[in-house]
Structure 1
Amino acid sequence: MDPNTSYDVLIIGGGPGGTPAAMALAQAGKRVLLVEAGHGLGGTCLFEGCIPSKIFRETAAKRRELASLGDFGLPLPQTEGMSVNWSAVQTRKHHILSGRAQGALAKARSLPGLDVVFGRARLTAPRSAVIETGGERREVAFANALLATGSVASPLPIPGADLPGVLDSTGLIEIGFVPKSLALIGGGPIGVEMAQIFAMLGSQVTVLEAGPRILGPVDGVLAGLLSERLRGEGITVETGVSVQAIEGEGQQHTVRYAHEGQVHTVEAQVVAIVAGRHPNVDGLGLETTAVQHDRHGVKVDATLQTDEPGIYATGDLVGNPMFAHWATAQSLAVARHLLGAPAAFPNPAHNSAVIFSYPELGMAGLTEDAAHAAGLEVAVAEYDYRIDARAQISGDAFGRLRLVYRKDDRRIVGVHALVEGAADLMGEAALIVRHGLTLEQVGAAIHPHPTLTEAFGLTALGAK
């Protein structure tokens, strides 16, 4: 084979499901070709998802803090109705994203065995592909391949969904102004985060969710508390609805939906369909291989190998859970596997995640319902953050901690926290769940006071 067109590993997708494996394999001496269709390394998380939305949240949260400084003895004049320089927010976002993408690219290109190409890759056979970039076409051969093309926003078959001013989650990230009113179709993590962000920025927000509650897979108790919080902040939350049509033009839209047999409408300047994402398999040339897929994603085995031997898939492409850190864990596991090293492939029962609502909602391991569905006999120990010293000091003593544990050996199988600062608690939570610590072991650890994390020890010690 021509050494200029032959690689040990072809990786399609430069996000968290592909780039970590590319770097690990190149560092181990493999010749790797990494092909990314976008304009930088980082994937959906960096350019369209978790990072941009958290940048927006930071602005919204600081605006909220300024309005409450009087409670801390620091009254500021004219905080009511404080304007937002949205252009500056978007400029800050682009600066952060550009810096992170450039840093990743510089690190990748410092590895002699790693070629990074911005273009499109399409499989032409089980061991070959064509790369198209800048009007040029190049054929390559490979020994193994990793598919990590992520996901795209899921469209809904709603009349009027293609009207100007009706956005998907990507369009909402790129919006050029703070709308006076916003209707969000979808009450999952994206919908809830965006609802609170724009409400804190001054928008009148409505959330329309088809399911019986927002955040369906999340701990039911915490989802219920957060739903109450949204409504208390003036956000309209409608669940169990069926959106029938979107009408209007320009900057005025009407969303018509059915709820409990009655037809209702909501007026909004901007409508955003944020009802999740689906695996991005288009244009990969999977039909030239034995790789199988359906609407849930590419089919893989326990080692993330597809039905085509030597071709692997990671991240959003293989379906839920769709989290950047999950994709990274899978990517690194595949790299170790291809190097012949022992590889601990990620276990969904040990996954952790954070929804950056207000307050934050963190989770690690199984919910109470998921544990019951798995046939486990479990109980739940709870802690109310209203009595927590650190939460009181911060000025937002609201939330709950729930430890899900097995009744037989008292091992903790799930940690779920709703409190501002929950994101930073999930490191300990992930370790607790990953190593199957018991209530007694967590209770025996000395947690510093006053911190949010001491609730772990107090809750464990107080469990029956």
Structure 2
Amino acid sequence: MHQRYDAIVIGTGQSGPSLAVRLAQAGRKTAIIERKNFGGTCVNTGCIPTKTLIASARVAHTARRAAEFGVMLDSPVVVDMARVKARKDLVVSQSNQGVASWLRSTPNLTVIEGHARFESAHGVMVNGELLEADEIFINVGGRATVPDLPGLKDVDFLTNSSMMEVDFLPPHLLIVGGSYIGLEFAQMYRRFGSEVTVIEGGPHLIGREDEKVSAAVKEILEGEGIQIRLGAKIQRVEKRGDLVLLTVSDNGASYEVSGSHLLLAVGRIPNTDDLGLDKAGIKTDARGYVVVDDQLHTNVTGVWALGDVNGRGAFTHTSYNDYEIVAANLFDNDKRSVADRIQAYALFIDPPLARIGMAEREVRASGRPALVGTMQMARVGRARERSETQGYMSVLVDAETKKILGAMLLGIEGDEVIHSLLDVMYSDAPYTVIQRAMHIHPTVSELVPTLLQDLTPL
């Protein structure tokens, strides 16, 4: 069997569906292919389900603190994990089914379920049928890395995907990996009621961040009773009775850590190993990511790669921005580029950590003269009112151009507030624009101008 299309989109993650619909609406006969879950990582095992679980965990945590606010509960807080999971599943199914229905109802767009593999530069095989198109868009995403640990093959373990099926409370959850995914699950399950131990091989948590940021996050998590082991290199994993046992070394000393369940959160790898890219002549880098230029073209004419698979971003928002860049260049005569976007992401623990632009160590390494403003969240009225005063805010400014270089907000509502700084960066305006703005009281955002009024040399 052989089918000819104008365009083929492989994968229904954050960028694929929007692009497929735009292609179809532009008159291109389009096919979109999905091998498993419509909506990709974000909808099924990433942002939507984890933030839904985090919301349940926050309610449990707040309920336990009710007396601090003068609210007296008649009985201890009990978390029903089956109901927590059922709520998460409902939210996920609404999103998952919404993506599938949207695609299936779009005229000029054919939805195909199956695993696509390239047979040539412009041909893919799906379910034994060859599909060809002049334009092909790869949006196949990534998956959790499973490290090669001695003994791991004999032990049951969890990843961010299989954690979505957990409907019980692990008595003691061991988490290997102290970065974004691992720490979100750590706080979440500690608030549900599990004992939690995080094992991180590096010298500090979330290794891409400045050390003082990581130290502040560590203090917050340890304050909730999460055990954190840094500089911990795992030598062996084994099953001992009902427990999972990790043998860990630290500067030559060896010790054991045991728990009831094991979650691996040590990174992500792209889904390119079973895509037939070699038959298409599509280049990948040493880690398996598809190599693209700033307009997301691969080295093969008429083939693009969007989302996590291209290694140019690892977030839902970067994937959607990839769609916007490709669509702007294809349809709008708008020469948008990945090079134009500013790094922005968040760690959704509570309080959240939000980051844009350059980190302090990156600014120092650049050698440019810079200014920094720092404020403890304890100075923020909104934080005091809610008894959530942990964390601090920091903004970096170029001393000569007065442009904002980057910012870090670790504190209540920081993941929302930081966009006021991000938008000033995108407008290429000096920091004085927001410094002189009048913000609403009482909010967290009102302290941003104040933060920028007391800058000191970095």
Residue 82 of structure 2 is aligned to residue 84 of structure 1:
no
Q: Say which SS state the counterpart of residue 168 (structure 1) adopts.
A: coil
Which whole-Å CA distance do the structure 2 matches of 1:177 and 1:401 have between them? Answer: 37
Structure 1 residue 330, shift from structure 2 partner: 0.6
Question: What are structure 1's unaligned runs of at least 5 residues?
Answer: none
Shift of 1:249: 5.0
How many angstroms does 1:301 deviate by? 1.3
Q: 2:194 aligns with which of 191, 199, 203?
A: 203
Say if 1:219 and 1:416, in contact at 8 Å, map to a contact too: no
Q: Tell me the alpha carbon deviations over residues 258-314 of structure 1, each in whole angstroms, 9 at most, x when there is no partner.
A: 012110111100011110111110221101122111315111112111111111111
Q: Which residue of 26, 32, 35 maps to 2:24?
A: 26
- The alpha-carbon distance between structure 1 residues 230 and 77, as it changes in their structure 2 partners (threshold 3 A), is same
Q: How far 1:78 moved relative to its partner?
A: 2.5
SS of residue matched to 2:152: coil
Q: Does 1:452 align with 2:439?
A: no
Q: Match of 2:42?
A: 45
In the other structure, the counterpart of 2:377 is 385
Distance 1:227 1:348 in 2: 33
Residue 222 of structure 2 aligns to a residue whose secondary structure is: helix
Partners of 1:181 and 1:397 lie apart in 2 by 28
Question: Is the 8 Å Cα contact of residues 16 and 42 (structure 1) preserved in structure 2?
Answer: yes
Q: Structure 1's 411 and 457: CA in aligned 2 closer, same or farther, altered over 3 A?
A: same
| 1:360 aligns to 2:352 (yes or no) | yes
Instruction: State the 1:432 CA deviation.
Output: 2.3
The one-letter code matched in structure 1 to 2:3 is T
Q: TM-score, normalised by structure 1?
A: 0.94
- 1:111 is displaced (CA, Å) by 2.2
After TM superposition, list the pairs within 5 Å mapping 1:133-144 onto structure 2. 137-144=128-135
Q: Is the 8 A contact 1:38 1:119 kept in 2?
A: yes
Aligned to 1:295: 287
1:238 and 2:232 equivalent? Answer: no
Bigger mean CA deviation after superposition, 312-321 or 284-293:
312-321
Match of 2:91? 96
2:185: which partner in 1? 194
Pairing of 1:299-378 with structure 2 (within 5 A): 299-339=291-331, 341-347=333-339, 350-378=342-370
Which amino acid is 1:96 matched to? Answer: V
> Equivalences for 1:45-84 in 2 at 5 Å?
45-79=42-76, 82-84=77-79
Match of 1:437, as an amino acid? A
Structure 2 partner of 1:430: 422
String of CA shifts for 1:331-354, please: whole Å, max 9, x gaps.
Answer: 221122233621322348612111
Displacement after TM superposition at 1:142 (Å): 0.4
Cα distance in 1 between the residues matched to 2:418 and 2:319: 17
CA distance in 2: counterparts of 1:212 and 1:447, whole angstroms: 39
Per the alignment, in what secondary structure is the counterpart of residue 452 of structure 2? helix
Which residue matches 1:14? 12
CA contact (8 A) 1:348 1:365 kept: no
Deviation at 1:404, TM superposition (A): 1.2
Residue type of the partner of 1:244?
A: Q
The within-5 A match list for 1:243-254 is 243-249=234-240, 251-254=242-245
Q: What residue ranges of structure 2 are gaps of 5+ in the alignment? A: none
Task: Read off the aligned partner of 2:313 and give its amino acid letter.
Answer: P
2: distance between equivalents of 1:176 and 1:49? Answer: 17
1:374 Cα deviation (Å)? 4.4
Instruction: Give the TM-score normalised by the residue count of structure 2.
Output: 0.95
Aligned length: 455
CA contact (8 A) 2:371 2:455 kept: no
Please give the alpha-carbon distance, in whole angstroms, between the structure 2 residues aligned to 1:326 and 1:220: 25
CA 30–446 in structure 1, closer or farther in 2 if over 3 Å, else same:
farther
The alpha-carbon deviation at position 210 of structure 1 amounts to 1.1
Instruction: Tell me the secondary structure at the aligned position of residue 5 of structure 1.
Output: strand
Deviation at 1:61, TM superposition (A): 0.4
Could you say what secondary structure the match of 1:244 adopts?
strand
**What is the letter of the counterpart of residue 13 of structure 2?**
G
Contact 1:23 1:111 in 2 (8 A): yes
Contact 1:164–1:250 (8 Å) recurs in 2 = no
Q: Secondary structure at the match of 2:107?
A: coil
1:280 corresponding residue in structure 2 = 271
Deviation at 1:92, TM superposition (A): 1.1
Q: Offset of 1:24 from its aligned partner? A: 2.2
Change over 3 Å in CA distance of 1:354–1:139 after alignment to 2: same
Shift of the alpha carbon at 1:26?
A: 2.1
Of 154, 158, 163, which aligns to 2:149? 158
Aligned: 1:120 with 2:115: yes
Tell me what 1:271 maps to.
Answer: 262
* 1:262 alignment partner in structure 2: 253
Contact 2:155–2:237 under 8 Å retained in 1: no
Task: Tell me, in whole angstroms, the C-alpha distance in 2 between the residues paired with 1:304 and 1:271.
Answer: 37
Deviation, 1:200, is 0.9
Given that 1:23 and 1:114 are in contact with CA atoms closer than 8 Å, whether structure 2 keeps it comes out as yes
Name the SS for the 1:88 alignment partner: helix
Shift of 1:157: 1.1
* SS of structure 1 residue aligned to 2:111: strand
| CA distance in structure 2 between the partners assigned to 1:108 and 1:455 by the alignment | 44
- Worse overlay, 404-413 or 157-166: 157-166
8 Å CA contact 1:349, 1:366 repeated in 2: no
- Alignment map for 1:378-417 (pairs within 5 Å): 378-417=370-409
1:131/1:296 CA distance change after superposition, 3 Å? closer
Q: Secondary structure at the match of 2:153?
A: coil
**8 Å contact kept, 2:122–2:133:** yes
Report the CA distance shift for 1:276/1:348 in structure 2 as closer, same or farther (over 3 A): farther
Partner Cα separation in structure 2 for residue 86 and residue 118 of structure 1: 32
Query: Which letter maps to 2:249?
Result: A
Match of 1:222 in 2: 213
CA distance in 2 between counterparts of 1:421 and 1:254 reads 38
